Amino acid sequence: MLLTSGSAGGSITSGYEITAGAQSPIYGSSSTGQTPSGYTTYISASRDDGNFNHYHPTVPFTINNTNFTRTYIGSNNYVTWGSGQNTYSGYTFSSWGVPKLLLTMTSDNSYQYVTARTFGSDYFRVRFEGNASTSGTVGQGNIVWEMTIFNSSVTPNGFGMIEVRVGSNGRGTGYTMGIGNTSSAYASHSSLVNNSVVYRANNSSGTSWTYFLGYHVSGYTG
């Protein structure tokens, strides 16, 4: 089953389709503490309540009427745009006043191993291997996820699209997660443990989103 739609303002030719069926992370569902070929290592040790930013000028991302070329990865399992955050508990979709993606919506995790790579102008991916505590051994984290953000110029509908694949995960069950704007959720759902989800914008401004839980994006590797 493929989910496709017409493009906005022109013809879009893309092999990146939203396809039914959950998929494990491309680089495996277990923490390895190793850098895949071509990736940049941002964190290679425990780092609690911090964030880093991945600069992706060739893959602009539009959400909440703003175009971003930096994505901030927070150690407590969230992604923000506009500024990085280091909150370790009590955060919701109304926190911070910036667009965000909450991955397990729980608190006090720590970095173990974080890598990222931009694939030309089509997409970039971040791999996070964390631990559900404030300490742990690099390469033995129990939170593994990979987030891929696609350039809207290559998506089937010409709008923003993000895929998240989660492997072994010590947290997430019973929590709400999803993508939100500065004050509330655009699209939210429960639990992303050993599963995958695709978030797709419904307009070019990224002010409306739909999620497809148990789906993945086909047509890419790396």
> Is residue 86 over pLDDT 60?
yes
Q: What is the rounded CA–CA span in Å between residue 71 and residue 53?
A: 5
Cα-Cα-Cα-Cα dihedral sign, residues 82, 191, 133, 32? negative
**3-state class percentages of the chain: helix first, strand second, coil last, to nearest 5:** 0, 45, 55
10 pLDDT above the threshold of 60: no
Q: In DSSP terms, which residues pair with 3 in a beta bridge?
A: 18
How far is the CA of 130 from the CAs of 167, 197, 198, in angstroms?
Answer: 11, 19, 21
- For residue 194, the tally of other CB atoms under 10 A from its CB is 15
Q: What is the pLDDT, as a whole number, of residue 1?
A: 47
% pLDDT > 70, the chain: 90
Alpha-carbon separation of residue 159 from 53, 87, 167, 201, 220 (angstroms): 23, 30, 27, 6, 18
Determine, yes or no, domain membership for 65: yes
- Check residue 47 and give its pLDDT: 78
Would you state the pLDDT for residue 7?
34
Classified as helix, coil or strand, 208 is coil
Q: What is the pLDDT of residues 48-68, one digit of tens each?
A: 888 889 999 999 999 999 999
Tell me whether residue 16 is in a domain: no
Q: What pLDDT does residue 14 have? A: 63
- Report yes or no on 21 lying in a domain: no
**Which is it for the CA torsion 151, 42, 211, 22, positive or negative?**
positive
- Name the token pair of 167: 């492997």
Q: What is the pLDDT of residue 168?
A: 77
For residue 208, tell me if it sits in a domain.
Answer: yes
Q: Does residue 89 register a pLDDT over 80?
A: yes
d(C-alpha 71, C-alpha 147), whole Å = 11
Decide if 85 is inside a domain.
Answer: yes
Strand ranges in 61-107 using DSSP code E only, listed in sequence order: 61-63, 66-68, 70-74, 78-80, 100-102
Percent share of the chain, pLDDT over 90? 59
Give mean pLDDT, residues 112-134. 90
Q: What is the pLDDT of residue 4?
A: 44
Range of the domain at 113: 27-218
User: pLDDT averaged over the chain?
Assistant: 87
Any domain includes 104:
yes
Q: Is residue 4 part of a domain?
A: no
Residue type, 16: Y
Contact 56, 71 (CB under 8 A): yes
In a domain, 14, yes or no: no
pLDDT of amino acid 222: 77
Judge whether residue 5 has pLDDT over 70: no
- How many folded domains does the chain comprise? 1
pLDDT above 50 for 11: no
Buried b (16+ CB within 10 A) or exposed e, 58-81: ebebbbbeeebeebbbbbbbbbbb
SS (H, E, C) 10-73: CCCCCCCEEEECCCCCCCCCCCCCCCCCCCEEEECCCEECCEEEEECCCCCEEECCEEECEEEE
> How many residues can be counted in the chain?
222
